[in-house]
A and B are shown apart, each in its own frame.
Chain A
Amino acid sequence: MREFTLPSMGADMDQGRLIEWLVAPGDQVHKGQAVAVVDTAKAAIEVEIWFDGVVAELQAVPGQMIPVGQIMATIVASEEATLPVAPPEPVVQARAVPSERPALRPVASASHVEIGGVRRRVSPAARKLADERGVDLAGVSGTGPLGAVTLSDVERAAAERASVPAPPVEAATAAERQALVRQAIASAMSRSKREIPHYYLSETIPMARAIDWLAAENAGRSISERVLMAVVQLKAVARALDGFPQLNGFFVDGVFQPAPTVHIGVAIALRQGGLLAPALHDVAAKDLSQLMRELADLVARTRAASLRSSELTDPTITVTNLGDQGVETVFGIISPPQVALVGFGRVAPRPWVTEDGTLAAVPTVTASLSADHRVTDGHTGAMFLASLYDWLQRPEDL
């Protein structure tokens, strides 16, 4: 017999409220199967089991607040399942409904009872409309029967959003927003690692020419107009992608859909923790000055939590730059449904064999590519990095 405990689904998560069980005693479960829905803050998350077996007993009761690590259910191996299920332990009887089958009864009864925090009531029509309009139901209050979210609630929320370009979760406190961000990252990255077969390539790129060129370029600019190397790198990525449309787009329903333009999701760390990677739109078509202005604006708005929803859904590829933190190389995780991520480490002088065969201290940067092997192979990725290398040797053409 094994115990299934509530896993942590985010660094800051220490408890969750069980909303509903998706399995019943006697059900066969498989590794990776969603077995319960747990509300961690505002989002309901499907909790997966990490081993195979047969459900013996559901100990947690819907509506119950459960600390991370507490036993939620017991699972027996398939062979054991033919044995009669062990009688419930006294502690369970004391807690649960008086019944000879406490493992089953609480599920049936509790799901009909109004318990704060159970799965929100949203009418099917409202759910569909919210999906169509991109309305986050977490921010919509329900005025229908039993507090259900109805069509008119979603319409009102959509209208409010249209009239005021408000932050995604207006009412959320900083802590709630932080939890939401953490959950979003956990969910997206788990999905990425679950679904996307990543391959990783890296290339060390000499940056002397780019640094010299940028210094000359910035010399003629006021401080506020100066362009950062990060912007040069973003533009170089966009230009290099011209030749590799297979790295720019979305993998949806088993098919890769190339994107017509390059919207780079720029990974921006949030002050309260976590990160977002909103889109810098149409990078290939804009000059460095404009990109610098837009990037500054994007960073400011990201940290003020006043992004437009399109900025969160548009990115066709992500670029993450951890050079400021001093790392050498980034091994990034692709943000689904994108199919590639480019990482930049720190630009710093390093030993480098120059073209004439001598060893010199040269500023270099390690650019890495994480790419989806379902869409491209290492060959494509290598060619892309070679192209990125080339672009960074002729910054004046960017």
Chain B
Amino acid sequence: MRMSYREAVRAALHEALVADPRVFLMGEDVGRYGGSYAMSKGFYDEFGPDRIRDAPLSELGFVGAGVGAAMGGMRPIVEVMTVNFSLLALDQIVNMAALYRHMSGGQFSVPVVFRMATGAGRQLAAQHSHSFENWYAHVPGLRVVAPGTVADARGMLPAALTYSDPVVIFEHVGLFNAEDDVEEWRCDLERAAIRRPGTDVSIITYGGSLPKALSAAASLADEGIDAEVVDLRVLRPLDRAAIADTVRRTHRVVVVDEGWRTGSLAGEVVAGIAEDCLYDLDAPPRRVCSEEVPVPYAKHLEDAALPQSDKIVAAVKEVTHA
């Protein structure tokens, strides 16, 4: 079935609300407005204000309420409008949601799903263009996923709701209008996926950078370089076996990550490669990350600051010495 990423998220939310009375959606503008990205359009009328809860502009407050509801037996889906604003709720996510199973000696679990938009590329300027997936992927107790395809946008939410511990879902703003034919969308939140098999180099990426990596791979194919594109999907815990597996086949690796380079997930991926399969590398790994500047507002500068297909192509040519 042809659907957009936005429609896929909406369908997944709708299905979850219908299937389980413990599920409710809470966040800024999710109700009367229909969601900042129109993902809950019509839900307010269908499910009512108890299950589609408009929250005040206080991330610390409503994220904390979601954590408490989860501890109380509900299955809240908390929509934080963007990762930029989630910084205000970090204490609830990192100190409460992630740690409460541990702090309570196993008496409480926190089966909450946090959804947040992430990423740059839409001229929203520095304060609204962050990619902080790595911040959350750093924290034990959280499972962090990044649907990079329409099918994963459809499948990851129901999968997340099966976990009894908190799951953070990062939905990249650049993907919302992407369309695809989706037949099978059921998925796990454990493994990375090969989106394009190849033999010469592994391009490892996730989320909003996936289409850029695929387009880079397509143009590389025209030049005779057969790139494999690996979608991490799950940012914590990383699927190190899949990463090592692809490197062992191609011997060359480029990691694409919209986060800033220093302390990035890309760095973690490369470190894992060094630990797991150094002797399979035929060239130094390369990272294509965002430039270490605040993401600019001006279109040409924003484009220049972010990973792009041409930068990926250049990095691949460097490691393949083409």
Contact = CB atoms under 8 A, between A and B. Distances in A.
A145 B281 CA distance: 13
B2 interface: no
Given A125-B251, A150-B283, A151-B251, A145 B278 contact: no
A123 B321 contact: no
Interface string A117-159: 0000001111110000000000000011100101100000000
A148 B283 contact: yes
B271 to A, nearest CB: 15
Given A126-B282, A150-B282, A145 B251 contact: no
Given A145-B284, A151-B251, A127 B321 contact: no
Interface in B243-300: 251, 278-284
A127 B279 contact: yes
A144 B284 CA distance: 11
A397 B129 CA distance: 90
Interface of B is mostly: loop
A145 B318 contact: yes
Interface string B211-235: 0000000000000000000000000
Contacts of B279: 124-125, 127-128
A145 B280 contact: no
Interface residues of B, number: 11
Contacts of A123: 251, 281-283
B242 interface: no
A266 to B, nearest CB: 36
B319 interface: yes
B278 A124 contact: yes
Contacts of B319: 145
A243 to B, nearest CB: 43
- The A contact surface, by secondary structure, is helix
A151 B279 CA distance: 11
B281 A125 contact: yes
B281 A124 contact: yes
Nearest to A150: B282
Interface string A48-75: 0000000000000000000000000000
Nearest to A145: B321
A126 B284 CA distance: 12
Interface-central residue, B251, B282, B318, by most chain A CB under 10 Å: B282
Q: How large is the interface on A (under 10, 10 to 19, 20 to 34, 35 or more residues)?
A: 10 to 19
A35 to B, nearest CB: 25
A124 B321 contact: no
Nearest to A144: B321
A330 B278 CA distance: 47
| Residue among B279, B281, B283 with max Cβ neighbours from chain A (10 Å) | B283
Contacts of A144: 282-283, 321
Interface string B32-73: 000000000000000000000000000000000000000000
A62 B150 CA distance: 54
Nearest to A122: B282
A148 B279 CA distance: 15
A36 B212 CA distance: 46
B321 A150 contact: yes
A151 B318 CA distance: 16
Contacts of B321: 143-145, 150
A148 B282 CA distance: 9
Contacts of A145: 283-284, 318-319, 321
B280 A125 contact: yes
A129 to B, nearest CB: 9
A106 to B, nearest CB: 24
A258 B37 CA distance: 74
Contacts of A143: 321
B83 to A, nearest CB: 35
A95 to B, nearest CB: 31
A124 B275 CA distance: 13
A151 B321 CA distance: 12
Nearest to A148: B283
A38 B63 CA distance: 61
Contacts of A126: 282
Contacts of B318: 145
Contacts of B280: 124-125, 128
Interface string B157-197: 00000000000000000000000000000000000000000
Contacts of B284: 145
Interface in A145-202: 145, 148, 150-151
Contacts of B251: 123, 125, 151
Contacts of A148: 283
A126 B278 CA distance: 11
B246 to A, nearest CB: 14
Nearest to A128: B279
Interface in A205-239: none
A143 B320 CA distance: 11
A128 B283 CA distance: 13
A144 B321 CA distance: 6
A145 to B, nearest CB: 5
24 contacts: A123-B251, A123-B281, A123-B283, A124-B278, A124-B279, A124-B280, A124-B282, A125-B279, A125-B280, A125-B281, A125-B282, A128-B280, A143-B321, A144-B282, A144-B283, A145-B283, A145-B284, A145-B318, A145-B319, A145-B321, A148-B283, A150-B321, A151-B251, A151-B282
Given A124-B282, A125-B251, A143-B321, 11 more contacts: A123-B281, A124-B278, A124-B279, A125-B280, A125-B281, A125-B282, A144-B321, A145-B284, A145-B318, A145-B321, A151-B251
Interface of A: 123-128, 143-145, 148, 150-151
Q: Which 9 A-B pairs have the closest CB atoms?
A: A123-B282, A125-B282, A128-B279, A124-B279, A151-B282, A145-B321, A144-B321, A150-B282, A124-B278
